[in-house]
Structure 1
């Protein structure tokens, strides 16, 4: 039986290979200055074309996509990122999956919201605010957040999770006027955070649950999109308060890697609160 560390490494390498393939398939030969050539059986660039552009061996690149433990160097990853035209968020995601050290820390164990943050939450009477953990679990919230988004205390376990609510809770989905634009961006941000915990049993359980309960989540998850650009304006159509327009701000919590304070500031167009 494989130990947990071995399982995590295998899952991370598999995710690394799948991410490379997903970016390769999004590019056309014309995007990188190559001729289209004859009819192609698969979408995007061929593996040997990416290898050529990156200046590495075709077989070696194939091993990377297959998730083999070949340990690419920083220079090789840089070359692949250029060949695949990765944006900064995608490049960071690639390096994270390759286990190249990054500045962000990976936190472990139970998460405890600092008392200072709890006091701050309670002091925001007209600003809905809540604390997200590393897995996007909702760890704490104020009364204004409960008034707008619902009573989080009625949710248990994986259900008290922002991504779960976004994709598996119809009542939560209906709140967002721009859900079609907000949801894929939120999922891409969550995907980027998941790279630090590839193979972690709590993350894998949540992802498996969402795959079972949401066809949309399952479809979008296979696209491997990542981003670190949040949507700052969100419109809520509340059944009692009417249209609420908020400006979202995400603040890191010092000393708590992966923990964030989310503050929702009402805009002038809001009709409630």
Structure 2
């Protein structure tokens, strides 16, 4: 039975090592056991063979985060596997590495689409909107009408008069958004990307610049959003924010209607939108 986290780490590293194909990685020679040899993992990880051997044997103390990251590369670990190695060796997950990717999976879009009368969207760590459902388009912003490079919540909040006019208390909302944006970006390890966006917004909006200098941080979890909608009038939406598992660069926000009136109103907007789309669809004569 394994007696310590170090021997558990060693067993896990040995298991990952035996799963790699030596020939596919450029190693040759006859082998009595499957996978890479210890010295080959050490070579791929750019660490000493002695140190790697000690790790598998549960000797030499806890490795540094740098060594663990090198081994993760050498063993071609997935992100969940790398996190597991850190938990075994150091008792904590690794520092977040911000690696933005393009788009979302079809499964994630289908999840948004199942929320029929609940506006929902997915944003990056820098609050670029990358996906949304039809309810979000008719209640919040029709992001299809916004150029891809401008699909950013902060750019809209501080640069679009219509978004400003729709808020019941723009100043409070803006302060909350900036504080939550700062917290989200730091949590995702996107400090450099955030600084570039903050510098841009500070040049174009003195109000953003003033709020950014306050260094306020807010938890973006849940709350109530109050809006002035051009058709529905004054509405309230409860919102909840969720992280997307396996994608530290993404977060999902879901807005639920507070009252039956708002829920029915959103449903009517969606039906009207479908009817207009059907009426505008090109028809072919079959006669």
Deviation at 1:209, TM superposition (A): 2.2
The answer as to whether partners of 1:167 and 1:217 remain within 8 angstroms in 2 is yes
Aligned residue in 1 for 2:154: 163
Distance 1:258 1:120, change over 3 A: same
1:129 aligns with 2:120: yes
Deviations 1:213-272 (A, max 9, x none): 211101111111112254510111111121221000111111111311111000017543
1:118 aligns with 2:109: yes
Aligned residue in 1 for 2:13: none
Aligned residue in 2 for 1:219: 210
Please tell me whether Structure 1 or Structure 2 has the larger radius of gyration of its CA atoms. Answer: 2
Aligned residue in 2 for 1:228: 219
Distance 1:234 1:108, change over 3 A: same
Deviations 1:96-122 (A, max 9, x none): xxxxx8766233142331222100111
1:182 aligns with 2:137: no
The answer as to whether partners of 2:100 and 2:249 remain within 8 angstroms in 1 is no
Deviation at 1:157, TM superposition (A): 4.2
CA distance in 1: counterparts of 2:172 and 2:243, whole angstroms = 24
Deviation at 1:190, TM superposition (A): 0.9
Distance 1:251 1:109, change over 3 A: closer
Q: How high is the TM-score relative to the length of structure 1?
A: 0.57
1:245 aligns with 2:214: no
Deviation at 1:164, TM superposition (A): 1.4
Structure 2: segments with no counterpart, 5+ residues = 1-91, 267-287
Aligned residue in 2 for 1:153: 144
How do residues 14-29 of structure 1 correspond to structure 2 at under 5 angstroms? none
Q: Secondary structure at the match of 2:236?
A: strand
Distance 1:132 1:186, change over 3 A: same
CA distance in 1: counterparts of 2:95 and 2:234, whole angstroms = 37
Structure 1: segments with no counterpart, 5+ residues = 1-100
Aligned residue in 1 for 2:192: 199
Distance 1:245 1:173, change over 3 A: same
Distance 1:243 1:147, change over 3 A: same
Deviation at 1:137, TM superposition (A): 0.6
The answer as to whether partners of 1:131 and 1:138 remain within 8 angstroms in 2 is yes
Q: Secondary structure at the match of 2:249?
A: coil
Q: Secondary structure at the match of 1:146?
A: helix
The answer as to whether partners of 1:248 and 1:262 remain within 8 angstroms in 2 is yes
1:262 aligns with 2:253: yes
CA distance in 2: counterparts of 1:209 and 1:270, whole angstroms = 40
Q: Secondary structure at the match of 1:211?
A: helix
Deviations 1:67-113 (A, max 9, x none): xxxxxxxxxxxxxxxxxxxxxxxxxxxxxxxxxx8766233142331
